[in-house]
Amino acid sequence: MSDMFSPIRIKQVEIKNRIVLPPMVCLHWSDDSGEATARHVAHYEAIARGGCGLIIIEACSVSESARLLDPQLGIWADAQIEGLRQITEACHRHGAKVLIQLCHALAVNTKALRTQSFVLLSVRFLFF
């Protein structure tokens, strides 16, 4: 238990404790643009403020055509940089380190499958 609050080094990155936020998509907080919003920034900052050492930003699609769902966060366009930068800076202000989960869901992004959330949940780890 005492280890939980001690720092850990992963390669060159020093993480202040062993508390990690796993990636959890906030679907419908974004829109078709895939850009992060003020709500995302406030959400991740609140977790960092609470003391989390490593925050893994939710699955971000690397391609517009390979999203799990249209309102998923994206990392395929320059316009998406600003929101992700704001999330990162907000977390850094509280001493948290940030990772991002890259996601390519081409095999499940047909309209028919995307409307069935149970399909997404059952296959997601195959594509992350």
Ligand X SMILES: Cc1cc2nc3c(=O)[nH]c(=O)nc-3n(C[C@H](O)[C@H](O)[C@H](O)COP(=O)(O)O)c2cc1C
**Which residue ranges make up the site for ligand X (CB under 6 A)?**
22-25, 58-59, 101, 128
Nearest to 30 by CA among 75, 92, 89: 75
To the nearest whole angstrom, how small is the minimum distance from the Cβ of residue 57 to ligand X?
A: 9
Residue closer to ligand X (CB basis): 55 or 59? 59
Nearest to 72 by CA among 119, 112, 104: 104
Contact 17, 7 (CB under 8 A): yes
Return the bridge partners of 99, or none. Answer: 56
To the nearest whole angstrom, how small is the minimum distance from the Cβ of residue 78 to ligand X?
A: 23
To the nearest whole angstrom, how small is the minimum distance from the Cβ of residue 81 to ligand X?
A: 20
